[in-house]
Amino acid sequence: MDHLDRLEHESIYILREAVHRFEKPAMLWSLGKDSNVMFWLARKAFLGEIPFPLVHLDTGLEFPEVYAFRDQYRDEWRLNLIADDCPPIEAVDQDLPPDSRVAARKTLGLKQAIARYEFDAIIAGIRRDEQATRAKERVFSPRADDGSWDVKEQPPEFWNHYNLDTPPGIHVRVHPLLQWTEVDIWRYIQRENIPIVPLYFAKDGKRFRSLGEIGITKPIDSDAADIDAIIAELQTTRAPERAGRTMDHEAENAFERLRSSGYM
């Protein structure tokens, strides 16, 4: 197997373990490049029929291209999609910086979905190379019933041996892409011809490297209008992937506060 084959094999194994172990899993579908790869892997893992719902935590602030992509592929792929509205910004912690409050709406939306649909496992498309706090994650990451995450109290995962024993009152975040890199994601999208939102491709010297809500996500300067150009760009840039996410620049600990309270 080549490198992408090994990553694919491991991710499919993780997804199958999650379905085997948990009674009511669900997958977060942000409609970004990572979650589309994760969805594609789930289709492969379960022979085209995904045995759990996809959840879009909708703040009402997605780019029009994102909503158009969601509606097209929801119908084309016949998805079991939950797209409930997130709670309003007034419901979040007002001590957070302004842009982080928008992101925190998704945390409340996730808590709302877990309570409403009684999910016991949430499959999310985060990667360790994406952000320093996410680098500390486990593949199977237990969360308290309020969604909080204690980085110091995590089960060990040695040699791909996962601890799936969880006490009552705990739900688990499952991270099948944790070992992937941004370049891996793009190479897999290219190999598998996976559809993605066109905002990732440069237009008029700008493109989005990471997609979030309108107002808290900015494009980067780029002429990369196809996947080969994106991969070449990533091999030379020193800018972080989330450079266009304004909430990452508001306060030194803003992202850590979001993550510890249940953010993806």
For 39-88, write each residue's pLDDT tens digit. Answer: 999 999 999 889 999 999 999 999 999 999 999 999 999 999 999 999 99
Strand 54-55 relative to strand 81-82, pairing: parallel
Of 97-101, 109-113, 218-222, minimum mean pLDDT range: 97-101
d(CA 11, CA 205): 34
In this structure, what token pair is assigned to residue 173? 């975040």
Q: Residue 167 has what pLDDT?
A: 67
Verdict on whether the full-model pTM lies above 0.75: yes
Domain ranges (residues) in the chain: 3-180
238 pLDDT band (50/70/90 cuts)? confident
For 201-228, write each residue's pLDDT tens digit. Answer: 999 999 999 998 998 899 999 999 999 9
CATH code, residues 3-180: 3.40.50.620
Contact indicator for 81, 29 with CB cutoff of 8 Å: yes
